[in-house]
Amino acid sequence: MSSDLFVSYLQSAEADAEDVLALQRAAIARHLGRRGRLAAEIIGDTACAVEPDLSEAMSLCHRHGATLLMAELGIWGDESAFLRKLGYELRRLNLRFVALDRPEASELTLGIMAAVTEAEERFDVIRTPEIVARRRDFYARFTAERRKCAATGSGHMSVRGSETRFQIEDQRSGTSRSWERARDVAPLLTEIRAAGVETLEQVAHTLNALGIPSARGNRWYPMQVARVTKRLAAVG
């Protein structure tokens, strides 16, 4: 995949199309700078669309080995179903992704972002400015680290974790509250591992960085991750 080719996806409504497109093109030009050049531009009509249709843009990215560049992720940055679907398609096609208004979003973080959005409601997490800033910083470091691993052919990710492979340790049955938390956190664990997080310590660090509390409302530790995973494995 070329690191200097991009396919841009612009969104507009018929009423203000020209002005909106001009602003998005200017933002894209500023972003590209010396980073690269456009291989193609796709304009989506959001006036009546349920959600952005990025299939044509992704097809062009796949053909040219380019990065998908959205000028505005907009309200879809908080739509878990859209984020998860987009993340899946990007991973399936082995494509990179950039959103100018949500720099923390990448092909590696979209699925996690979707699961976090869902977890916020289940766990009554308040999205404070501090939590948002911490998440964005984590997503940026996470993306850079995983892309570096892919470029060097190394599978190791040094996001504050040991090199011990993911292991399940025998534990006593947890309380009903712990079981409920295990069930609720399962989609987030799935997305975290799909993004390449492997060790117990790395998973715990990721959950803490995202501001997701444990069953007792405290920080996550590797042993807690092992217990949750065992509970989930016990019911398939």
Would you say how long the chain is, in residues?
A: 236
pLDDT values of the chain reduced to their tens digit, one per residue, 236 residues: 557 899 999 988 765 678 889 999 999 999 998 788 999 999 987 766 678 999 999 999 999 999 999 999 988 999 999 999 999 999 999 999 999 999 999 999 999 999 999 998 888 888 899 999 999 999 999 999 988 888 787 655 544 443 334 443 434 444 566 677 788 899 999 999 999 898 999 999 999 999 998 888 789 999 999 999 988 888 76
Residue 173: predicted pLDDT: 44
Residue 15: predicted pLDDT: 58
- Looking at the DSSP assignment, which residues form a beta bridge with residue 98? 69
Residue 157: predicted pLDDT: 53
Let me know: does 203 contact 228? Beta carbons within 8 Å. Answer: no
Tokens of 44: 């989506």
Give the burial class of 114: count Cβ atoms within 10 A of its Cβ; 0-12 exposed, 13-18 middle, 19 or more buried: buried
* Of 232, 156, 163, residue with least CA distance to 201: 163
Tokens of 206: 């990721």
Tokens of 98: 């950039």
Residue 125: predicted pLDDT: 85
For residue range 131-143, list pLDDT tens digits in order: 999 999 999 999 9
Q: Is the dihedral of CA 62, 87, 96, 28 positive or negative?
A: positive
Q: Buried b vs exposed e over 17-36: b needs ≥16 C-beta within 10 Å? A: eeebbeebeebbeebeeeeb
Residue 172: predicted pLDDT: 42
